[in-house]
Amino acid sequence: MSPGGKSANITLKSIEVPKALQEGEKFIKWDEDCGSGLPVTLRVDPKGYFIYWTDQNMEVELLDIATIRDVRTGVHAKVPKDPKIRNVVLIGSQGSLEEKTVTVCYGADFVNVTFVNFCCTRKEIAQMWTEELFALAYNLNQLNNPTIKFLEKLHTKIVLKADKSGKILVKNIVRIFAQNKEDKKRVEKALSESGLPTGKNDTISQTKFMFEDFFSFYKNLTQRTEVQTIFNKLTDGKPYLSATQLVDFLNEVQRDPRLNEILHPYADIQRARDLIKAYEHNKYHQQRSQLTFDGFLRFLMSEDNPIVAPNKLDLCDDMEQPLAHYFINSSHNTYLTGHQITGKSSVEIYRQSLLAGCRCVELDFWNGRTEEPVIVHGYTFVPEISAKEVLEAIAESAFKTSDYPVILSFENHCNPRQQAKIANYCRDIFGEMLLDRPLDSHQLEPGGELPPPSLLRNKIIIKNKKKHHHHHKKEDSVTSEESEPRPELPPPQGNGELPPGTLVRQGSKDSESSSDSESSSGEEEAGGGEADEARETHAGAEISALVNYVQPVHFSSFESAEKKNRFYEMSSFDEKQATTLLKERPIEFVNYNKHQLSRVYPAGTRFDSSNFMPQVFWNAGCQLVALNFQTLDLAMQLNLGTFEYNRRCGYLLKPEFMRRKDRRLDPFAESTVDGIIAGSLSVTVLSGQLLTDKRCGTYVEVDMFGLPADTVRKKFRTRVAPNNGINPVYGEEPFIFKKVVLPELAMLRIAAHEESGRLVGHRVLPVVGLCPGYRHDYVPDRLSELAEALANPIKYQSELDKREHQLAVLTEGTDAPAAPAPTALAAPIKQESTTDGSPSKSSIIMTETKKLIENESITSAASLPANDKESQEQTDEKQDGASDESALAESLDTLLSSEMVRKKRAELARKLDALRRKQDKEKRPVTAKFYVGNKLAKKLYGGEAHGSGEEGGSEERELRLRYHHAIYAALEKHDLLELEKKEILNRLANSRKEDVKALAKKTNRDKDEILRIKREIHSQELLELERLCGGAPEG
């Protein structure tokens, strides 16, 4: 394959485990939680699925290699701080402990990562293990293996967890597949039918539990009746497929009709015989070129029957195009691990983002107290982190998983002295990686093009305001991140934090400038007073010298940008500004992005670090669509799924219509785009296996994301398969996407859910890469609970309203909250901080609860007794400039723990349970048995479907709806009662102050007597409070 170019015959590299890793090595294991080191033997299984270690008691622990995010040694490895532990793990050897340590970092998301450390005797051993483990973790097959390989992985896990004598405990097998008593019986029955022991305390010899034995057990557990039905139709009732019948099946059902017949010839008899030889394990039928049901099932689950064309997973895009021709995986406020105002910040999340393929990260620099620049979210309660440590982390991780360029988006609030220090750190730490001058082939001259990713391999590009010698002051017509109205700010203090109780608007602020000739970085802030201190400072000469291909400027107009024709200038927009441009000037926005970079970031009102749908702005050709990586909501999951392709390098080539200047693309087009053949897609979800070990109903949703005309959400959903997480069969009519206007930009999302709505797992698949026919798809374990708020349909009258309606299908449930009133800016400070970055279903309830609380605050005066209205009015007056505590959203746990709400929820649960039992009795028992969780068998592009009437869920929906109203009413009443209690407490507190003051004037008693009387007054107040509040009705 040519450097950065295309390859017609890309194959995924098979996983090969070095012999040294299979045989193992002696290490001392330690982690942050243990107080001492533990001698272990560390190994990797021959298939490369797990790293596992055995201690001196022959106890085995294992770690899924697919969950490993990084492996480090040397200066970036973790070493114990306790001298006693250091002496233990050194094993008596001399030299640097860091060089002899292997640190393994693993976790399910970017924020919640865990470290385990292994120390050996020689640095050569540590280096070898570090390199090989990292290569295994990032092999493309780890997450894209065929279904049969995931079964093989499950079998490997069971074998590795054998007891000290090498026996496999039956109860361990049962526990993997089921928690419920009834499901456990199904697992035990499948073991019995496979000739294996079933007793709770029974064991199985490893020699009697080879993979073939496990596969037999798998078939008995899942039965795969839906595959048997397909097989019977193909064979006309015979017990096997002939080679000729297999050829017909490959060419008529499984073949992609879009393939070129010369480059991809039709299957022939020899191809059929080769497949039969590979997958038919019955020698009698194999010799006669016959494929039995067992062989047919193995083929459907094999690497020869993928759901996505393998070349899409490897590097498949042309990497010789200008930088503006790619979608670039981008992060917003990268340092944050949670809430925008009260969350935490981390150096580690920079590593995690870059390792995951992110190619644009954000750094907010502020003056440090010790003349060392820091990274912090200014004017919030987010703690600061060392700028130098962040730059070191970037240097270490930037090109470990992708060698394509990384853009550092600087937001610089430092004084000239600390700016110069940042510039020096960049030069010293990045070294040759830093692109500090334009390439000879791509000079900074108007009319040129940005260099391609292939010429910028292993290069770090700085985005920062650039200092120019010629300033031309000019008013900006359309502002960028910097231009939203700000409340008056006091001067920055230290790291930019304000005194407690004072909060200002936050967001990503590039502070970009605009002029007719040269960009001015200084005059735009002149005379701004104290409020302008929140803006970025003047660009120093040292840091300005590092800026070349990504020079931020204020956006004036598309006409101005076209006239200047400076490919090296870019603008940033918050999601609201970008949406306005997209609705008003969609074609011009697409054309602008053909030759200049644009960055879109979340609105400043997204305090909870939620995300907008990136597809909205990919449709306009925006390259740097920056998301909050710490929040794995639907938008971020779509981003991760989209950038899973092209070797996860962080760059995806835009469709041709978004690159060629002689072509025109309207992202709101509803008819066929000129020159592009519209596609159609039919998806039938047949079954699922091992979706969950709970005994609950499951269903599957199929959505499409792309142009507004192509986007289909919340329309296609299977029926709920009741009480079956092991092997549900859906047998639905096909979900038909009749017309896909721009297939190159369309992504298919398949998501499995429990009946409660909890996400089990999902997969994002490119429409142009889908393989037709019967396929299995592995959906990775759920990343987080989805938080999708419901939005009302939008009616349109004008063309702008129509476009807004078209965008609504993409943005439903992801809109940014409305900006709070200035007096409420301090309100979010007191909310509980969520640092795990995973919004749950509570996000929906909290949004609605906020609305209830806002309504209650309006009517609260009327709910107070007459003699309390005056104090209420005084309280309202005092709230001018202070935080209104009644406007705070309580945490979900607090709200749901109130007695009234708990009673209503318990009553709902009882009635739902009774309703389900009644429905179960009325239905015939479900007799079909099937299996395995994180995989879905689907038929793409047509085919016969198994229709099924929808289960009677109307009664349940009506019951839920009725009780939802009751619960919300209880919440409202709870809030009103709390407000009244608060007012009573305030009155009592004021009364107590008056009593104490009167006591001090009227008595000359000693201190002990005064304290006694104070306690007596306090006791009387408590009795009064109990009388007033304790007996409040809860109905």
Where do the structural domains in the chain lie, given as residue ranges?
19-144, 223-305, 323-485+498-525+533-658, 679-781
Neighbouring C-beta atoms of residue 650, cutoff 10 Å: 24
Q: How large is the average pLDDT for residues 476-505?
A: 38
Q: Is the pLDDT of residue 952 over 60?
A: no
Q: How large is the average pLDDT for residues 127-133?
A: 97
As a residue count, the chain comes to 1035
Residues contacting 590, CB < 8 A, separation 6+ = 620, 621, 658, 665, 666, 667
The confidence score (pLDDT) of residue 739 equals 92
The answer to whether 464 and 543 have CB atoms below 8 angstroms apart is: yes
Could you tell me the pTM of the whole model? 0.73
Percent of the chain with pLDDT over 90: 55
Burial 128-148 (b: 16+ CB within 10 A, else e): bbbebbbebbbbbbbebbbbb
The answer to whether 358 and 330 have CB atoms below 8 angstroms apart is: yes
Q: How large is the average pLDDT for residues 914-924?
A: 65
Interatomic CA distance for residues 248 and 300, integer angstroms: 15
109 vs 756, higher pLDDT:
756
The confidence score (pLDDT) of residue 796 equals 35
The confidence score (pLDDT) of residue 863 equals 33
CATH (residue range 223-305): 1.10.238.10
The confidence score (pLDDT) of residue 841 equals 30
Q: How large is the average pLDDT for residues 635-650?
A: 94
Q: What amino acid is encoded at 743 in this protein? A: P
Q: What amino acid is encoded at 710 in this protein? A: D
Q: How large is the average pLDDT for residues 374-383?
A: 92
Interatomic CA distance for residues 97 and 89, integer angstroms: 8
Which range, of 222-226, 710-714, 947-951, averages the lowest pLDDT? 947-951
Nearest C-alpha neighbor of 615 from the set 591, 593, 642: 642
The confidence score (pLDDT) of residue 850 equals 30
Q: How large is the average pLDDT for residues 35-48?
A: 91
357 vs 497, higher pLDDT:
357
Q: Which two tokens stand for residue 914?
A: 């009774």
> Any known ligand binding at 815?
no
Residues labelled as active-site residues: 332, 377
Q: How large is the average pLDDT for residues 103-115?
A: 91
The confidence score (pLDDT) of residue 1001 equals 60
Q: Which residue has the tokens 């055995």?
A: 54
Q: Is the pLDDT of residue 1008 over 80?
A: no
C-alpha distances (whole Å) from 749 to each of 400, 706, 805 are: 29, 11, 22
Neighbouring C-beta atoms of residue 502, cutoff 10 Å: 16
617 vs 778, higher pLDDT:
617
Q: What is the three-state SS of 371-426? A: CCCEECCCCCCCCCEEHHHHHHHHHHHCCCCCCCCEEEEEEECCCHHHHHHHHHHH
* Rg of the Cα atoms in the chain: 32
> Any known ligand binding at 525?
no
Interatomic CA distance for residues 590 and 621, integer angstroms: 5
C-alpha distances (whole Å) from 681 to each of 420, 747, 748 are: 56, 11, 10
Neighbouring C-beta atoms of residue 1000, cutoff 10 Å: 9
For 813, left (φ over 0), alpha (ψ -120 to 50), or beta? left
Sheet strands (E) in 1-75? 25-30, 38-44, 50-55, 60-64, 68-72
Interatomic CA distance for residues 358 and 398, integer angstroms: 9
The confidence score (pLDDT) of residue 794 equals 33
> Any known ligand binding at 364?
yes
Which range, of 273-282, 308-317, 471-480, averages the lowest pLDDT? 471-480
Which range, of 236-240, 410-414, 496-500, 932-936, averages the lowest pLDDT? 496-500
Q: Which two tokens stand for residue 460?
A: 């770090």
Q: Is the pLDDT of residue 416 over 70?
A: yes
Residues contacting 804, CB < 8 A, separation 6+ = 583, 794, 796
Interatomic CA distance for residues 473 and 520, integer angstroms: 7
Architecture in CATH of 679-781: Sandwich (2.60)
- What are 19-26's contacts with CB under 8 Å, separation 24+? 20/128, 21/129, 21/132, 21/133, 22/46, 25/120, 25/125, 25/129, 26/120, 26/121
Question: Which band of pLDDT confidence, cut at 50, 70 and 90, is reported for residue 436?
Answer: very high
The answer to whether 700 and 762 have CB atoms below 8 angstroms apart is: no
Q: Is the pLDDT of residue 780 over 80?
A: no
Question: Which band of pLDDT confidence, cut at 50, 70 and 90, is reported for residue 555?
Answer: very high
The answer to whether 747 and 704 have CB atoms below 8 angstroms apart is: yes
Q: What is the three-state SS of 202-251? A: CEEEHHHCCHHHHHHHHHHHHCCHHHHHHHHHHHCCCCEEEHHHHHHHHH
767 vs 940, higher pLDDT:
767
The confidence score (pLDDT) of residue 854 equals 30
Q: How large is the average pLDDT for residues 591-598?
A: 97
The confidence score (pLDDT) of residue 650 equals 97
Q: Is the pLDDT of residue 787 over 80?
A: no
Q: Which two tokens stand for residue 440?
A: 């000879």
The confidence score (pLDDT) of residue 873 equals 43
**DSSP tag of 501:** T
The confidence score (pLDDT) of residue 522 equals 34
Q: Is the pLDDT of residue 731 over 90?
A: no
Question: Which band of pLDDT confidence, cut at 50, 70 and 90, is reported for residue 1003?
Answer: low
C-alpha distances (whole Å) from 418 to each of 366, 409, 927 are: 9, 17, 72
Q: How large is the average pLDDT for residues 576-602?
A: 96
Q: How large is the average pLDDT for residues 624-634?
A: 94
Q: Could you tell me the CATH superfamily of domain 323-485+498-525+533-658? A: Phosphatidylinositol (PI) phosphodiesterase (3.20.20.190)
Greatest CA span in the chain, whole angstroms?
113
Which range, of 152-166, 408-422, 589-603, 872-886, averages the lowest pLDDT? 872-886
Q: Is the pLDDT of residue 537 over 80?
A: no
Work out the angle at residue 146's Cα, subtended by the Cα atoms of residues 141 and 148, and round it to the nearest 5 degrees.
125
CATH of 19-144, one of 2.40.50.140, 2.30.29.240, 3.50.50.60, 3.20.20.100: 2.30.29.240
Per-residue model confidence as pLDDT tens digits over 340-359: 998 899 999 999 999 999 99
Per-residue model confidence as pLDDT tens digits over 859-895: 233 333 334 444 444 444 444 444 343 344 555 555 5
The confidence score (pLDDT) of residue 1007 equals 62
Q: Which two tokens stand for residue 724?
A: 């079956």
Neighbouring C-beta atoms of residue 228, cutoff 10 Å: 13
- Classified as helix, coil or strand, 551 is strand
Q: How large is the average pLDDT for residues 917-927?
A: 57
The confidence score (pLDDT) of residue 100 equals 92
Q: Which two tokens stand for residue 588?
A: 């011009």
The answer to whether 231 and 296 have CB atoms below 8 angstroms apart is: yes
Which range, of 386-400, 469-483, 488-502, 805-819, averages the lowest pLDDT? 488-502
The confidence score (pLDDT) of residue 533 equals 40
Per-residue model confidence as pLDDT tens digits over 737-754: 999 999 999 999 999 999
Residues contacting 678, CB < 8 A, separation 6+ = 672, 739, 740, 741, 743
The confidence score (pLDDT) of residue 950 equals 44
The confidence score (pLDDT) of residue 738 equals 92
Q: How far apart are the first and last CA of the chain?
A: 72
Q: How large is the average pLDDT for residues 601-630?
A: 95
Per-residue model confidence as pLDDT tens digits over 798-845: 555 566 666 676 666 666 655 443 333 332 323 333 333 333 332 222
Question: Which band of pLDDT confidence, cut at 50, 70 and 90, is reported for residue 671?
Answer: confident
Q: Is the pLDDT of residue 236 over 70?
A: yes
Interatomic CA distance for residues 547 and 552, integer angstroms: 10
Interatomic CA distance for residues 484 and 574, integer angstroms: 10
> Any known ligand binding at 362?
yes
CA 709 to chain centre: 25
The confidence score (pLDDT) of residue 142 equals 86
The confidence score (pLDDT) of residue 782 equals 40
Q: Is the pLDDT of residue 953 over 90?
A: no
Which range, of 113-122, 844-853, 895-904, 907-916, averages the lowest pLDDT? 844-853
Interatomic CA distance for residues 172 and 183, integer angstroms: 14
Question: Which band of pLDDT confidence, cut at 50, 70 and 90, is reported for residue 37?
Answer: confident
User: Average per-residue pLDDT in the chain?
Assistant: 79
Interatomic CA distance for residues 342 and 621, integer angstroms: 34
The confidence score (pLDDT) of residue 392 equals 98
Percent of the chain with pLDDT over 70: 69
The answer to whether 599 and 330 have CB atoms below 8 angstroms apart is: yes
Interatomic CA distance for residues 204 and 201, integer angstroms: 10
Q: Which of 9-23, 250-264, 820-834, 961-975 has the highest mean pLDDT?
A: 250-264
C-alpha distances (whole Å) from 668 to each of 739, 749, 798 are: 14, 21, 14
